[in-house]
Structure formats: C-alpha cells, structure tokens
Structure 1
Amino acid sequence: MPLYPRSSKRDRTKSAFKRRKFSRSWKRKFQNYTGEHKNGFQIAWLLQGAITSQVLPWVAFYSGYSFLIVLLAQRLELTSSFDVGGGIAHIVLSINLLLSFLLIFRTNAAHDRYWEGRKLWGSLVNTTRNLARGISITIDRESSPIDSPIKEENMKLIDAFCVAMKIHLRQEEFVEEELMILMSNSRYRQLYKSGHPPLKIVFWLGEYLQEQYLLNRINLYQLNTLHKLLDDLVDILGGCERILKTPTPIVYSLFLKQLLVIYCLILPIELAVHFNFWTILIMALFSLILFGIEEIGSELENPFGRDPNDLPLDFICNTISGNIQELIKSNQARLTD
C-alpha cells in the first residue's frame, strides 16, 4: 500500500490548470524576469508609476486648458453647427493620422533598442558560462597548491567583468562591496583608477590565458578558443555601448513632442462644441494615453538604467555570479577527489 494516496485524474488536471494559470500571470512573469516577489497590484504600480509621474503634469495642464475652452465655448454660445468646428475636425483628423504613425515608429524604435540590449545580456550569460567552464576544465594541470586559487581568482574576474560592465553602462561610481569580494585589493585599486574598467578586466583574463599557454598547461587550439570567448565579451560590451551612446535623434523626439502639444491644444476646441464639460475628462484621458506612449519610448530608449522598466541587470549579474560559483565548487570537488 503506497504511503501517500495517489491523486485522482481530476485533481491532477486542476493542479496543472493552476500551474498554467500562474505561469501566465503578471506575478510569475515578473518573478522570472527580475527575481522579485510582488503581487499584481504592486507590479502594475511599480511599472506604471515611473511613466505616470512624468505624464501627470501634462494631464493637469490639458485638463485646466480644456476647462477654459469649455467656458469660452459656452460664453460664445458655440454649437455643433458652428462653421469653424467642421474645419477644426479636418485638422484634428489629419494630425491624428500623422501622430499615430510617428508614435508607432517611436515606440517600435525604442523597443528594438531594448530588445537588442536584452539579447546582448543574454549572450553575455552564455559567453561567461562557456568561458568559466573552459577555464575550469581546460586549465586542469596545477603544478603547485597555489595554482588552483589563482585559477579560481581569474574565474571570479569573469563575474567582476559583468558587474563592472553593469556599472559602466549605468555610468555610476564603483561600490566597494560589489567588486572588492571578486578580486584582490591591488587589482581593485587599479580598476578604480582605470579609464575603462571592463576592458581592464578582459586584459587581465587575456594575460592569465597567455601565461597558462607559456607554461604548457593549454595548447594553441585551447588558447584560441578561450581568446575567442574573450573577444565575444568585448563585442557584447561594444554593442551595449553603441545602444547607450547612440540615442534616438533628438530632433525626432522634439518634433514628436511639439506635434503632441499642438494636437492636444487643438482637440479641445473640437470636443467642447459637442461634449461640453465632458471635454475635460476626455482630454485628461487622451493626454494620459498619448503622452504615456511617448514616455514609454523615452523610458525604453536606454535599457541599462535603474528604472523599473529597464533591464534587470542586477538579477542577470546575480545569475552569472551563481553560475560561476557553482563551477568553482565543482572544480574544488574534482581536485579533492
């Protein structure tokens, strides 16, 4: 007799349905993406809050502006048959079509930059795994007890490269706790004074590989393979720098903002004739949507910051660190066997 009763087919079906439903929820997707545990309301407020705070001044302005337009329309006793209303409707429709295409292009261009950044950091995860695995397995002929700690120290430099790259892309100052635990004090001081810390770490890794080749611990083919992975790290770094230092042309963003302002200034004149004081609510909603979409483009344009809608670089770096620590433990276990 089994220790635990077997679940019925109905129970298994219900359990599978719950798991599938949970996997499609905001909570699960956000947890898989950032590693943070939050409920649906917290996630919506977190992601929406960064955009809403930038858009609310525009919403307040156009709500007040619409109120004045409605008062003016009632003062002048304008009706839906007013001649100017028909002309304004055509102007609003023309700008609406143009504005729709510009907003779509703006959002798509920003998302392409965001997605390219995500692909580059995904490639970074795979490249660091291959490089750490290659160093752990290929350089396996230690001639003295001190060689193994040196290898582990250089494997930690791979983790340090990712952290330094994250800090470099965010254009922030070093935090001692992040990098001090991954290298010696002397190297940390050199890195702090370096003009390009991620590149300095790649140089150290290249030096270590060349030294192992000269000591006949790896052959030429293995050296070239590991150097190719270092080249991939540099290529990934360069791709992220290209996204960071080549924003969407400012003139395009400026023109789109100007067109949004003009459109929202003209639209209440058309709406006030037909909707009276409902115009205020309609304009508040329209300005929230239109300027919100424009702000989404600005938010996604640089995906390497600390905003809630940016890439979860801290989570990715923690994933890489966990992978490297696991490989170091495997290397230590192999040496003790």
Structure 2
Amino acid sequence: MPRKYGTTVYIRSNWPLMLRLKGTVILSIWWQVVLVGLYSTAVFFIHKYVWPMKYNLSLVSVMGMVVSLLLVFRTNTAYDRYWEGRRLWSQMTLGIRNMTRVIWVCVSETETRDVLEKKSAINLLVAFAFATKHYLREEYGYEYDDMIDLLTHIPKYSLPTSTQPMDWRTDIPTPLATLQVQGGQTSRMSEKAAQQQQGVHVSKVSGVSTTAHAETRHRRQQNKRRALAFDFLTPTNIPVELSYYIGSYIKSCSAKQKVDASTLTVMNNSLVSLIDCLTGFERILRTPIPLAYSIHLHHATWIYLLALPYQLVSNMDEWMIPAVMLASFTLLGILGIGYEIENPFNDDYNDLPLDDFCKVIQAEVDSMVMHRAPVPADWVFSENNYPLANSRLSAKELSELSLDEVHNILEAEGRPTVHYSRNENGNMHEDAVQSLNVQAAAGTEPVPSITVEVPAPVSNPPPK
C-alpha cells in the first residue's frame, strides 16, 4: 500500500503545524525528553530534601551557546545534502526528458522495428529512474512491481554496487537455494541443488569459504538489507547496467544512420548526465557526517542538558523540571532533524518522495509516446493557426498565396509611431499622442486607428 509522503501530508492535513505529529521527530525523541525530565526531578528532590544546590554555573550558559552553534551547523550540513539530492534528481529528470524527446521525435522510422526499438529504449529510461530509487534505498534486485515489467527482457549482469562497504560484499556466485530471506525462512532447495550440496560442509570458491558467506548474509539480515538478485548474492547496480543497453541503442542509431550528428551528441550528453547524477547520488549516500563529529555533538548536547538542572534549580525550584524538558525538546529535536534528513533517499516522511518523482516521469513519458511524433505539416497548416498577428487569414489560407504576397503582408503590418505636441494655452503639461495605424491584409477592412493621450507630469505646480 503506498504511503503518504511528507509533502502530501503537509498539503492534505487540516491541522495547524504546531499540532501535527506526522512528519516530526517527536516519536523518536520523546523517551529522551522523558528521561531528562526524570533526571531533573531527581535533582530537584535532592536539592529540596537532601543537599541544597546553589551553584552559579556560568560555564553552562557559555556551553549552551556553543552547542547551539554546533547544532545549527549540523542541521545546515544535513540540509545541504538534502538539497543536493533534490537538485541531482531534477537534473536526472531533465536528462530523461531530453533523451525521450530526441528518441521519439528525431530518430527516423522506416519500419516497424524502428518504432519498437524506440519504445523499448524509452522504457529503459523510465526503468532507470525506478532502478535509481531502489538502488539508493539499498533495495537490490529486479523483482520490484514498479519496474519488473520494464526489465524482464534484460539479461542480468549483477554488477557490484558502489553503495555498500567492501566488507559487506561478496562477488562469489551463490545459488538462491542457500539464501535466507527475511523472517528466517530458508528458500526451498531443488532436488538437483540438494544432491550437489549434500555432504558438503565447507566448500571454498576462489579462496572464500561458505562460512564467510553465511556471516555476510547474517550481517545483512541484522541490518535489514535484502539481496534480491536472481543468481548472485552480490547487490547489483542496475542503473549502470541499463546505461549499457541505452548506449547500445544510441550506437545502433548511429550505425543505421537514423540520426544526424547533432542529435547523436544530444543523446550521448543526456546519457552522460544520467550517469553523472547517479554518481552524485552515490557521493551523498557514501559520504556520511564524520562519526567523530556526530559523537562529540551528542556528548556536548547531553552534557549541557544534564548540567542545566543544577544551574536552574536554586532559582526556579520545581519549575526547573518543565524548563529543562523544554530545552531538551528543542535541542534534541534539532539533533534528530539533522540525523533524519542526512540521507534524503529513504522512505521517511521528511525524505524526498522518490516514488512520486518516478511516477511523474513515467506519466510524462507515457503521455509523450501515446501519439506519433508530431510533423510540422500536421499542426502548422491548420485552419485554427493564425501566424500573422494582424492578419485574418489562417496558415492554410496563407499557404495558398505566393511568397511575395506573404512578405508584403508582413511588411504592411508596420510599427506604432508616437507623436508629441505641446499645449498652446500654457506650459503646464505635454500631450503624448500615440497613433497606431495598421494596414490590414489584402481584401480585408482596415483596422481602426487608436489614439491615446497621456498627460505629462507637471514640472512647475501653480501657487496656492
């Protein structure tokens, strides 16, 4: 069932922003705020009944300013990644649109095979968008409902991915019978595979034991990652595979002389743009915020929140508890927002709605190829097309005239002229008289002239 993304929830919700829960980080930080509240309560009771605390911790105030600056930097850095992901997706959409237009309009058709090749290549462009979405979400495989119909005829290369650390990867072919799917269930083994694997406990292929593969699969399962490739455990880079087939189609068009040199350049540049966007996505995905910075920021935030009750308890008494909880809600909320938008390619409420983006691309491409490539003769010489602004003849009627007659009509349109005159009774203002004389087309009534009088501003106002 498709979920509602952040933009959709934002538009359809009737609740004011301050009362909304979906799309916020409250559900992920509420227990931390409660923990700080319980800690502040314990500090208050110790201050009241055990040991009065009258500390003047000016260092806490200075530390609060430093923590605030660090949190702002953290959020800005995360949003830069979010915005960069959106910019790259728009650039990828531009490349898909341009290549679809060039293939459908500029590639010539001489037989039925040409139309089928064009439509198949355009389908691969749509599949490129869906495959990129799954690839960025670390969903490796071909059997996804939104793109399986577009890829059933494509051989599977199973190229290694660039979005996983090397210690998670294995390039050794592994039968599906030995893979464990989510939930701990083992796929059924065929009789032939069972006979081949019977009595084999530890076999090595290229120096890598099956024990290492089992550990790798267990690690992936723990991290909620799935490998859905047909015959390989290695997650596949499907967008790169598709680029090979799209490139082969471009080469075929060039070999068959179906396109000219300029069109071929546009197609190659669009394909390069798609790969460039894919590489930019990988850069965002594989370049997280440095771990030392994130850990230090968490340490500084929690040290500040845990030291804040000791500074406020002597002045605010029991009101210190909600004050500290409010401060923790603010700081931990900013920290959680930065962590959530750091990777904009997931399917959370605050991530980019990649599903909607892909559906928009598919709808645009489907509507474009729904009709044959437009021919200028079909839409230029129409009875409803009046190409000359001041002519009452349609393009179809004008096409029956000679070339000289059409040029004479264009020259007769003329340009508006402006005449200035001064008032004879005084030097109070100027009348700008604009006369627009238009010569109509041959055989039609002249268009009446238009005169507009615009008074000039008064330079010397009369004395009162």
TM above 0.5, yes or no, is yes
RMSD: 2.3
Match of 1:331 in 2: 372
1:67 and 1:156 mapped to 2: Cα distance? 62
Higher helix content, 1 or 2? 1
Q: Which residue of 1 aligns with 2:15?
A: 41
CA contact (8 A) 1:180 1:188 kept: no
* CA distance in structure 1 between the partners assigned to 2:268 and 2:102 by the alignment: 11
| Aligned counterpart, 2:104 | 136
Equivalent in the alignment of 1:146: 113
In the superposition, the TM-score normalised over structure 1's length comes to 0.82
After TM superposition, list the pairs within 5 Å mapping 1:40-59 onto structure 2: 40-41=14-15, 44-48=20-24, 51-59=25-33
Residue identity opposite 1:165 in structure 2: T
Query: In the alignment, does 2:43 pair up with 1:69?
Result: yes
1:202-221 to 2 correspondence within 5 Å?
202-221=243-262
- Counterpart check, 1:178 vs 2:136: no
Amino acid at match of 1:176: Y
CA apart distance, 1:188: 6.4
* Identical amino acids, percent of aligned pairs: 29
Separation (CA, whole Å) in 1 of partners of 2:144 and 2:12: 29
Of the three residues 291, 295, 308, the one matched with 2:332 is: 291
Corresponding residue pairs, total: 296
Corresponding letter in the other structure for 2:85: G
* Alpha-carbon displacement from aligned partner over 1:200-225 (angstroms, at most 9, x marks no partner): 11110110010011011112332122
Are the equivalent residues in 2 in contact too, given 1:66–1:283 (CA < 8 A)? yes
Asked if the contact 1:120/1:236 (under 8 Å) is kept, the reply is: yes
Deviations 1:308-334 (A, max 9, x none): 000010111111111111111133787
TM normalised by structure 2 equals: 0.60
2:228 corresponds to 1:261: no
Contact 1:34–1:315, Cα closer than 8 Å, also in 2: no
Match of 1:157 among 80, 102, 124: 124
Q: 1:97 aligns with which of 65, 70, 95?
A: 65
Q: Secondary structure at the match of 2:26?
A: helix
Deviations 1:28-65 (A, max 9, x none): xx9994498621339832211xx112211211111000
**Cα distance in 2 between the residues matched to 1:196 and 1:101:** 39
Give the drift of 1:123. 1.2
Distance 1:215 1:261 in 2: 67
In structure 2, the residue matched to 1:18 is none
Does the C-alpha gap of structure 1 residues 155 and 234 become closer, same or farther in structure 2, counting only changes over 3 Å? same
Distance 1:64 1:93 in 2: 22
Residue identity opposite 1:280 in structure 2 = I
Asked whether the 8 Å contact 1:35–1:315 carries over to 2, the reply is no
Q: Deviations over 1:276-327 (max 9, x none)?
A: 1112211221111110100111011100001100001011111111111111
Instruction: Supply the distance in 2 between the matched residues of 1:32 and 1:169 (Cα, whole angstroms).
Output: 19
Q: Is 1:273 aligned to residue 249 of structure 2?
A: no
**AA in 1 matched with 2:243:** V
What is the alpha-carbon distance in structure 2 between the residues aligned to residue 53 and residue 256 of structure 1? 21
Alignment CA distance shift 1:112-1:37 (3 Å): closer
Q: 1:312 to 1:331 in 2, by over 3 A?
A: same
Superposition misfits of 4+ residues, deviation over 6 angstroms: none
Show structure 2 runs of 5+ residues with no match: 159-228, 379-464
Report the more deviating stretch, 271-280 or 199-208.
271-280
Larger RCO of the pair (alpha carbons < 8 Å, separation 6+):
1
Query: What corresponds to 1:232 in structure 2?
Result: 273
Within 1, Cα distance between the matches of 2:47 and 2:298?
27
Deviation per CA, 1:220-273: give whole Å up to 9, x if none. Answer: 332122000000000011111100000110110100000011001100011111
